[in-house]
């Protein structure tokens, strides 16, 4: 609910505090932002472009895949690493709010789901009673006040080091989930999907090191047993959806075992 996170919000135009007036967020400078009937509110600057946001089809595929529990080891590890939380948990690139809801269930606190896709945030707004859903651009100033977040989540999503540092309170943490080069390797090889650079871990640390200090890193590896529809959903729910021909994908999937065993492999890294 927006009222749960109202005290942490900042105007995307002037950075003044936002206050909720009925179903509208307003700042002292007169900027206002209406809540959509689906529960989210857009805090995008006027010149922002949403073309990189997940489509309705991508969001539907991800929602079904995550609801089936395939990435449960990831959400469980996040919730365990979060520990008790009393303040704001902000999820940058929250998507449907799946991981944020899991953390709030386990750890407490209130949640801000931040994403550029309104289709994703329609679901995030309903994912948990203590989530407020905000459309924003990860590469612009985030619509959160300085030092407002106790915990920030970032799962398979863009990350903006200076803004993460600005919104985290002193002692606050970032829990970052990134794929390893082994993630989905069976599907990458069989379907010609985008692969993960083996230098990704090093490059991520280098980009965040001016702003945050890495304190812990855990590798999470598990086996997925996917039917053909689920394997197709893996492709449809992520960046591969922009680069894959659906007819060719279906033909290739028909030649795979049903179910097919696929490696899940991610890093959970904690920064302060």
Q: What is the pLDDT of residue 168?
A: 98
**Quick one: what percent of the chain has pLDDT higher than 90?**
68
Q: What is the pLDDT of residue 126?
A: 96
The number of residues making up the chain comes to: 272
User: Residue range 76-84: average pLDDT?
Assistant: 96
Over 90: is that where the pLDDT of 11 sits?
yes
Q: Which of 52-56, 203-207, 221-225 has the highest mean pLDDT?
A: 221-225
Q: What is the pLDDT of residue 244?
A: 62
Q: Could you state, in order of their start, the residue ranges of all structural domains in the chain?
A: 50-271
Beta bridge partners of residue 113, listed in sequence order: 91, 133
Over 70: is that where the pLDDT of 46 sits?
no
Confidence tier at 49 by pLDDT (50, 70, 90): low
At the top level of CATH, the class of 50-271 is: alpha beta
Tokens representing residue 15 in the block: 């950075």
pLDDT digits (tens, 9 = 90+) for 96-153: 999 999 999 999 999 999 999 999 999 999 999 999 999 999 999 999 999 999 999 9
Q: What is the pLDDT of residue 233?
A: 83
Residue 186's nearest CA partner among 257, 264, 262, 266 is 262
- CA distances 225 to 59, 92, 182, 249, Å, are 21, 29, 16, 18
Over 80: is that where the pLDDT of 48 sits?
no
Neighbours of 126 (CB within 10 A): 16
Q: What is the pLDDT of residue 241?
A: 57
User: Residue range 24-53: average pLDDT?
Assistant: 86
**CB contact burial 236-253 (16+ within 10 A = b; e otherwise):** bbbebbeebeeeebeebb
User: Does the predicted model carry a pTM greater than 0.75?
Assistant: yes
Neighbours of 159 (CB within 10 A): 20
pLDDT digits (tens, 9 = 90+) for 233-258: 887 776 665 656 666 767 777 777 78
pLDDT digits (tens, 9 = 90+) for 138-175: 999 999 999 999 999 999 999 999 999 999 999 999 99
pLDDT digits (tens, 9 = 90+) for 166-207: 999 999 999 999 999 899 888 888 777 666 777 778 888 889
Confidence tier at 28 by pLDDT (50, 70, 90): very high
CA-CA distance, 167 to 165, in Å (whole number)?
A: 6
Q: What is the pLDDT of residue 229?
A: 84
């Amino acid at each position: 609910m927006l009222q749960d996170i109202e005290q942490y919000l900042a105007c995307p135009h002037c950075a003044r505090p936002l206050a909720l007036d009925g179903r509208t967020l307003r700042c002292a400078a007169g900027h206002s932002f209406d809540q959509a009937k689906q529960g989210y509110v857009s805090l995008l600057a006027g010149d922002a472009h949403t073309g990189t946001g997940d489509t309705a089809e991508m969001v539907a595929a991800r929602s079904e895949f995550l609801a089936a529990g395939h990435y449960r080891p990831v959400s469980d590890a996040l919730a365990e690493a979060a520990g008790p939380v009393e303040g704001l948990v902000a999820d940058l690139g929250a998507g449907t709010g799946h991981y944020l809801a899991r953390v709030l269930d386990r750890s407490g606190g209130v949640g801000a789901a931040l994403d550029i896709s309104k289709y994703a945030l329609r679901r995030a707004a309903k994912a948990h009673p203590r989530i407020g859903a905000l459309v924003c651009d990860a590469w612009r100033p985030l619509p959160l006040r300085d030092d407002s977040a106790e915990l920030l989540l970032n799962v398979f999503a863009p990350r903006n080091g200076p803004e993460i540092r600005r919104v985290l309170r002193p002692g606050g943490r970032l829990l970052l989930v990134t794929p390893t080069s082994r993630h989905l390797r069976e599907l990458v090889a069989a379907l010609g999907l985008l692969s993960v650079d083996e230098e990704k871990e090093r490059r991520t640390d280098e980009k965040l090191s001016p702003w945050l200090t890495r304190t812990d890193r855990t590798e999470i590896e598990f086996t997925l047993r996917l039917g053909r529809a689920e394997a197709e959903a893996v492709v449809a729910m992520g960046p591969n959806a922009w680069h894959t021909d659906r007819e060719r994908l279906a033909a290739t999937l028909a030649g795979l075992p049903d179910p097919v065993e696929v490696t899940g492999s991610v890093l959970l890294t904690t920064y302060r």
